[in-house]
Structure 1
Amino acid sequence: MDWRGVVADSVRAHGLRSEQRLELLALAGLDREPAPLLARLPLLLAGLAGLLCGLGLIFAIAANWSGLSRTMQFALLQAAIGLGALGIIVRPGLRLPLGVWCLLATGGLLAFFGQTYQTGADTWQLFALWAVLALPLALGLRSDALWMGWALVALTAIALWVTAHVGHRWRAEADDVVVHLIGWLAALGLALALHGRWGRRAGCGVWARRTAASLSAGLVTATALAALFGQDPTLQALMALLALGVAASMLASPKGFDLFNLSAVALGLNVVLVGGLARLLFSAASGGDAMGRFLLLGLAAAGMLAATVSGVLRLARAAGRREGGVA
């Protein structure tokens, strides 16, 4: 239960005096920074520092690409990984920023080899190798921020694999069903692994799980849109509706409720449904006034979004009441 919001609503609704208002605000903690925020702020700043330092290293090498020899570029990137790993061992308190630093430096090193030696590997292979090489780092550090970055890299590899196997362009034709299904299953398996018991034991936190789930929903939604706006709508659109519907029902259940992931999946459902309606209204066989069809599409999209938001909020309130009852 969000007691801070309840107290704030009561203050506004009942018109309490200034003294009563201050007492209630102090009781709810609204007069100071939330304790969880103060506890997590150093970790957030440490992760941001590692991110900025890693990106700064990669950008510095890219900006001076022509002025640095291959040996110097390799030495800088390799030294960055080695020093970061050594720093994690020597200073465990800095494992979060140094872990993020090593993750980015590993990607920079792989990009260096791909750009310099033209190995012929597809982009997805570099991202897949990046995910494999960074997996021991994520397992060792057990950091939610590092797992979130790893999930981003792994799901990018899956998306690029799908693109590479459908002709290096984002399409969804009838012959591509198997490729898309494999990509969806891989993304879903990754998300379930991070959500499951193994993920919790490996140190995956809430944001790593949310990253994996929302990116998986985005992959399914993007494939459905490619199917809807291709030459002929294909089976992928119906498969996407089924997959998103099943995911929404699981996330809406009391046992598996997750507001963030449910919102992401519900948004994907809305996008696919609105895309299907747009395809139906503006197909070649459709007649009538174009502005009228646009108006109908806009009203339908607004109505679906309003109904979705109302349903998600109702489920969130029910989950809050269950938590309050348990507490």
Structure 2
Amino acid sequence: MQPFQDRRAVRQALADWREQGVLGADGVAAAWPGTEPDAAGWRTWLDRALLVLGAALLCTGVIVFFAFNWQDLHKFAKFGLLAAALTLLAGFACLRPPADLAGRAALCGAQVVAGVLLAVIGQVYQTGADAWQLFALWALLAIPWALAARAAPHWWVVIVLVNVALLRYFSVRLGVGAMFDLLFGAAGERATTLSLLAATLLQLALWFALCAMAPALGFRGLAGARILVALACGYAGWLGLASLLHSRFDAAMFGVALLTLGVLLAWFRLRAFDVVALSLASLATLVLLVTAVARLLLDVNRAGFGAFLILGLLTIGLSAAAAAWLLRAYRQHGQADASGAAKGEPA
């Protein structure tokens, strides 16, 4: 079965050749069916989709069960049920052959149940620990399951848990009272956002390094990088917006935000092409540029109808330019992939 990325690259190349007149409509019609998934491919996709849905529903059911029956269960019954569920999931995964989807789904369920067990322990024995410690320990316990599964989705869980722990930790330790206070002008928001941005960029660099050195452990694919890029763009965008919306413009923080977005755009265009990451970085850059122009117009007392017209036209123009650039980059990359596939080179 032809990989999805190769089929997409061939389809893009066929469409480009048809548009350029290199290949006629008959040639495209003859080659196009080979790029579509066959019945076996659809069955494989359906099996995976139902397996993921079943694992998600099972984990959700465990959480809802304890939430609904919390008062009626003895504390040792809570621990025993969760330990039994964890043991059953781990035992089932051990009985399955390596790289089995059902076994990996069981390991993913074990990752979630381990966190539920930590939460139950924290509820039964009130120690006064902060929430970031729960997520940090949960992320630490999720790593062995990810190493056992050797699959990228298990590392996505680790990434999410690590960043939730970091968000809670930095928001509290750097002067922000709670995570949501970070969005509403708290005293330490700039230091917090800058720390979170640096931590996310460090994780992104670590992800690419692990993808190059240890793909057999599950460090592969684009989804993990996309999660981190979305966080980095969010933090960089908020850092830039905060520097613009405060009473005193912070040029240094605005420059850091634009520099971060520029580095992301250059990396995912030239070294590790990904149109999703480029779209996220382009959107964040567009928002910062439009907001900067709006701040400039307000500072020079031109906040009337003409200013809004200028902002509207600027938004339309920048959006069109970004869309054209993304489409051109996507087509160029698709043609390069198609040429590489035709020569037998890896995509």
Range with greater deviation from structure 2 (48-57 or 214-223): 214-223
- Residue in structure 2 matched with residue 101 of structure 1 by the alignment: 109
Deviation at 1:159? Answer: 2.2
Q: What do the CA deviations read for 1:274-302 (whole angstroms, capped 9, x no partner)?
A: 333333344xx452454433332222222
- Residue in structure 2 matched with residue 128 of structure 1 by the alignment: 136
3-state DSSP of counterpart to 1:287: coil
Q: Which runs of 5+ in 2 are unaligned?
A: 1-7, 342-347
Q: Is the CA contact (8 Å cut-off) linking 1:148 and 1:209 kept in structure 2?
A: no
Deviation at 1:44? Answer: 3.4
Q: Is the CA contact (8 Å cut-off) linking 1:155 and 1:216 kept in structure 2?
A: no
Deviation at 1:141? Answer: 0.9
Change (3 A) 1:299 1:144: same
- Residue in structure 2 matched with residue 119 of structure 1 by the alignment: 127
**Alignment-mate amino acid for residue 222 of structure 1:** W
1:167-246 equivalences in 2 (<5 Å)? 167-168=176-177, 169-170=181-182, 177-196=190-209, 197-198=212-213, 200-206=215-221, 207-234=223-250, 235-246=252-263
**Alignment-mate amino acid for residue 204 of structure 1:** F
Q: Which runs of 5+ in 1 are unaligned?
A: none
Q: Structure 2 CA distance, aligned partners of 1:281 and 1:67?
A: 62
Change (3 A) 1:184 1:113: same
Q: Structure 1 CA distance, aligned partners of 2:59 and 2:277?
A: 29
**Alignment-mate amino acid for residue 186 of structure 1:** A
1:76-91 equivalences in 2 (<5 Å)? 76-91=81-96
- Residue in structure 2 matched with residue 63 of structure 1 by the alignment: 68
RMSD: 3.1
Range with greater deviation from structure 2 (147-156 or 179-188): 179-188
Q: Structure 1 CA distance, aligned partners of 2:78 and 2:215?
A: 37
2:325 to 298, 302, 311: 311
Change (3 A) 1:71 1:176: same
- Residue in structure 2 matched with residue 256 of structure 1 by the alignment: 272
Q: Structure 2 CA distance, aligned partners of 1:174 and 1:246?
A: 28
Deviation at 1:231? Answer: 4.3
1:46 to 48, 51, 72: 51
Q: Structure 2 CA distance, aligned partners of 1:322 and 1:78?
A: 51
Q: Is the CA contact (8 Å cut-off) linking 2:152 and 2:224 kept in structure 1?
A: yes
Q: What do the CA deviations read for 1:196-254 (whole angstroms, capped 9, x no partner)?
A: 2245242123122322332232233233334433444434332111111111111111x
Q: Is the CA contact (8 Å cut-off) linking 2:269 and 2:278 kept in structure 1?
A: yes
Deviation at 1:24? Answer: 5.2
Change (3 A) 1:98 1:242: same
3-state DSSP of counterpart to 1:275: helix
1:3 to 4, 10, 16: 10
TM-score (norm 2): 0.79
Q: Structure 2 CA distance, aligned partners of 1:290 and 1:88?
A: 65
| Paired positions, count | 319
Change (3 A) 1:6 1:130: same
Change (3 A) 1:221 1:201: farther
Structure with the greater relative contact order (CA < 8 A, sep ≥ 6): 1 or 2?
2
3-state DSSP of counterpart to 1:170: helix
3-state DSSP of counterpart to 2:182: coil
Deviation at 1:142? Answer: 0.8
Change (3 A) 1:16 1:252: closer
- Residue in structure 1 matched with residue 284 of structure 2 by the alignment: 268
Q: Structure 2 CA distance, aligned partners of 1:58 and 1:190?
A: 29
